[in-house]
Amino acid sequence: MFMLVLGSIEITNSIYLKQALTSVAYEGARLASGASGTKSDAESFCTQLLTARQIQGASVSCTQITPATTRGTLITVTVTAPAEQNSFGLTRYFRNRDLTAAATMPRL
């Protein structure tokens, strides 16, 4: 019974982490796909959101965007975080695993 409770806590935490990464990727893609959006702005904004959500060890990558990037070009923001570094450490289910989320939007 005790292991079931610990496992449930870890699973719930990983679901929260995956949802948070998805939300951060979406917000970054939304910013980057704007007419004046830049790669550095999107990555910086995502990093701020990750810090606010207390997600440790995450990395952010974004499609290269320049002023010449045409409208309709797909912009992808990918956010990755290690599950172990963001877990309570109660179980070993998520050791050496990364959770990744990506969002893609067309350039406006």
Q: What is the pLDDT of residue 53?
A: 96
Whether the Cβ atoms of residue 53 and residue 33 lie closer than 8 Å to each other: no
Separation CA 82–CA 59 (nearest Å): 9
pLDDT tens column, 16-52: 999 999 999 999 999 999 989 999 999 999 999 999 9
- Sequence spans of domains, the chain: 2-106
The overall pTM is greater than 0.85: yes
> Which position has the higher pLDDT, 67 or 104?
104
**Residues 13/99, Cβ–Cβ less than 8 Å:** no
Q: In what order do the strands lie in the sheet with 74-82?
A: 59-62, 74-82, 98-106
pLDDT tens per residue, range 41-91: 999 999 999 999 999 999 999 999 988 899 999 999 999 999 989 887 766
DSSP for 24-42 reads HHHHHHHHHTSTT--HHHH
Q: Which residues contact 63 (CB under 8 A, 6 or more apart)?
A: 32, 39, 74, 75, 76, 77
Q: Would you give the distance in Å from CA 108 to the centre of its chain?
A: 22
